A and B are shown apart, each in its own frame.
Chain A
Amino acid sequence: MRTRPRAGLQIDGFTLGEQLHKGGFATIWEVTHPLHRTPMVMKVPTILDGYDGPTIVGFEVEQMIMPRLTGPHVPRVMGTGDFAVMPYIVTERIPGESLLARFRSGPLPLTEVMDLAARMALAVHELHRQHVIHLDLKPDNFLERPDGTLVIIDYGLSRHDQLPDLLAEEFTIPMGTFPYIAPEQYLRRRDDLRSDVFALGAMVYELVTGKMPFGQPETLRGVRKRLWRDPEPPRALRPEVSPALQEIILRALEVDPARRYQSAAQLLFDLQNPDQVKLTARAQKQARDGFGPVFRRWRRMRGLRQFASPPPTMSAQIDQAPIILVAVDLSPEMEELAERLRLSAARMLVLEPDARVACVNVIKTARIGIDQTVDEFGTNLHVARLVALRDWARGLDLDEGRLTFAILENPDPGTAILDYARTTQVDHILMGARGHSTTRRYLGSVSSRVVAEATCDVTVVRVKPADLAEEAEADVAPETAPA
């Protein structure tokens, strides 16, 4: 490296301003460029004289990965600099602070925790979808945009599924930040996105309790303990924590990645639907395990070299744990279609044993005016639909933890389904299409709109008409009837 950063330095059209931050491995500078109007920062690694392998490789990895990332959850890259002159990365400047301050002020009110945790999980899932496992998630590495979107920074330890892993060759000891590092990362695995799920779990634990689940070990020996020693259950530290939230946190913190949430999206889903989390013994746990169980775990874990391998690629790993939305029409004339939909869902679940199913039904509300939420006999429409939806799903023969139910209200069922799919990171929508009718030919059907506008896979199920004439009659009747 021939050039060193200083205020006023000009390089590749960028002019360095004030130094904003000086960390152990890099300095951050304010920069300007005549062609870019957005506020920008430049990160320059602090490379020691002579050969400073780990810092260089970490920065090489960032230079490789960051320009490939897109979307609001990552900083936009404006330029990278050559090692021959001065290595740097210029990105947009995210105005807010990192989450560190909020973590330090913890524990936070629980509603705030749920919201923040969901935003963190969403940002991590977006990263995973772009083939990157971060592997060093911690409060300092989340920045917040003014609109609340979280931005993940610092990719010096990350791994891109489709690029050479330069770090694997460089380090002989596990890498990461000790309070948040996952057990398999301690065992030197760098290809499991569930390691990020573990770090998320550790951070949510910290937000809830104000404590780190495994303390702040300073040695690798201290890190290793988490392979057998369980953290204090959050409810023991803060009694108002709901069983569901404890279930979510302890599941994310499972030692064996196979017992954790299989993706950040699944964790997000539970954070968004805490009332539908399937509670297990984790939810009820009141104290850390006693000597017996811990000793047995120690005996089992002390010789462990590796957990079972994750799927070969990240896309495969995400695909293996999809969230499937089934939009069920419960109107009486659609019984046959609902039945077919259930058969298709059941078939899909055989192929995707880690899938979760969100059963959704839409109550079509009037665009103008006040809706009646109770029928003439005083039955709450919402509750009635929920009961019917649960009854429909009974035929699916799926354990409750993998099934959730939602009744949506919207004047436009298509919009309701699309919005729900977007916010809950649904991977696949399964829905029925009614038969053919003249009205739909001109006005368009719900399913065709969902197929056209959804950002995930969509499967449309139809009932094959036994007799076209008969079908047309049955189909048109309810729609033309006066509402």
Chain B
Amino acid sequence: MRLAVLTDIHGNRDALAAVLADVAVRGVDRIAVLGDIVGYGPDPEWCVERIMALAEEGALVVRGNHDHAIAARDDAMNALARAAIDWTRPRMPAAQAAWLASLPLTLALDDILLVHASANDPGDWIYVTSEHKAMPSFRVSGARVILCGHVHVPALMSCDLSGRVRAQRIPMGRPVPLIRSRRWLAVVGSVGQPRDGVPQAGWALLDTGRNELTFRRVPYDTAAVAARLRAAGLPEELARRLEKGE
């Protein structure tokens, strides 16, 4: 099975469209969306509508903290995120808001676990930013491959037979074999708001037949989205972030 993994779309229509076009070109059997479809970006309704349609066709979708904050206020959010979600909330059609609230926090597919943040207490939205922070996910889950998002910076961790967790270098665009003597955790890069200094939309392709994971980047018109963001009256900082990818 070839599984396209998208996460942290954040209402960025152009980035999502570019990624879905790339996904179509690569050819996949299934799509997984690891949450945060809304928040920050200027086109949350379009993005939710698109992902809902994909879910109808069998895409697997889990809930992110921004999706969660549409229905339930999240006081742990920083000011910028809260400002954006306060802008987003009233725009969301009731059906979309209800759908977001109904999403599960985790999903399992064979030996793969899908989750937005750390698999350890998924509703606590813990960032997996280091080997140390990845360890609890490996502990609570027996899955061979854990796929998550939330950080907006792609990362790959392996956990060997002795339980040692190691961050691995990611060769962008090249398949990494997920050797079976280890378990793996991939933090997939953000579609709609990358923060690793590369302003291109990120996604990942997991090929279970070949047992390989490929992190990919796709360019899109960041300036156009930044302009729409500014026109919508969203904070300037968010527009700058898209242009620089940080």
Contact = CB atoms under 8 A, between A and B. Distances in A.
Contact of A164 (B156, B162, B181): B156
Interface string B170-185: 0100101101111000
A164 B180 contact: no
A contact residues, range:
10 to 19
Given A51-B161, A164-B169, A83 B180 contact: yes
A41 to B, nearest CB: 21
B179 A64 contact: yes
A89 B156 CA distance: 25
Given A162-B171, A163-B176, A164-B156, A60 B162 contact: no
B141 interface: no
A82 B180 contact: yes
A83 B181 contact: yes
A87 interface: yes
Contacts of B161: 51, 56, 83
Contacts of B158: 164, 166
A53 interface: yes
Interface string A47-84: 00001010011001001100000000000000000111
A441 B229 CA distance: 59
A87 to B, nearest CB: 7
B168 interface: yes
Contact of A165 (B162, B169, B174): B169
B244 interface: no
Contacts of A166: 158, 166, 168
Nearest to B170: A164
A53 B180 CA distance: 15
Contacts of B179: 60, 63-64
A467 interface: no
A169 interface: yes
Interface string A250-275: 00000000000000000000000000
A51 B181 CA distance: 12
Nearest to B210: A67
Contacts, number: 38
Interface string A161-180: 01111100100000000000
B177 A64 contact: yes
B174 A162 contact: yes
Interface residues of B, number: 16
A53 B162 contact: yes
B169 A84 contact: no
Given A56-B161, A83-B161, A163-B171, A169 B166 contact: yes
Nearest to A84: B180
Contacts of A163: 171, 174, 176-177
Residue in A51, A63, A84, A163 whose Cβ sees the most chain B Cβ within 10 Å: A163
Contacts of A64: 177, 179
B162 A51 contact: yes
Interface in B118-172: 156, 158, 160-162, 166, 168-169, 171
A202 B83 CA distance: 66
Interface in A312-371: none
Contacts of B174: 162-163
A57 B181 CA distance: 9
A59 to B, nearest CB: 8
B133 to A, nearest CB: 17
A80 to B, nearest CB: 9
A82 B180 CA distance: 6
Nearest to B163: A51
Contacts of B181: 56, 60, 82-83, 87
A82 B144 CA distance: 13
A82 to B, nearest CB: 5
Nearest to B168: A164
A190 to B, nearest CB: 12
Nearest to A50: B162
Nearest to B181: A83
B207 to A, nearest CB: 14
A230 B15 CA distance: 58
Contacts of A162: 171, 174
A274 to B, nearest CB: 39
A63 B211 CA distance: 12
A60 B162 CA distance: 14
Contacts of B176: 163-164
Contacts of B177: 64, 163
Interface in A237-255: none
A203 B166 CA distance: 36
Interface in B81-115: none
B178 to A, nearest CB: 10
A359 to B, nearest CB: 37
B9 to A, nearest CB: 27
Residue in A51, A82, A164, A165 whose Cβ sees the most chain B Cβ within 10 Å: A164
A461 to B, nearest CB: 34
Interface in A83-112: 83-84, 87
17 contacts: A51-B161, A53-B160, A56-B160, A56-B161, A63-B179, A83-B161, A83-B181, A162-B171, A162-B174, A163-B171, A163-B174, A163-B176, A164-B156, A164-B168, A164-B169, A166-B168, A169-B166
Interface of A: 51, 53, 56-57, 60, 63-64, 82-84, 87, 162-166, 169
Complex A-B, nearest 7 residue pairs according to Cβ-Cβ distance, in ascending order: A164-B168, A83-B181, A162-B171, A162-B174, A51-B162, A169-B166, A64-B177
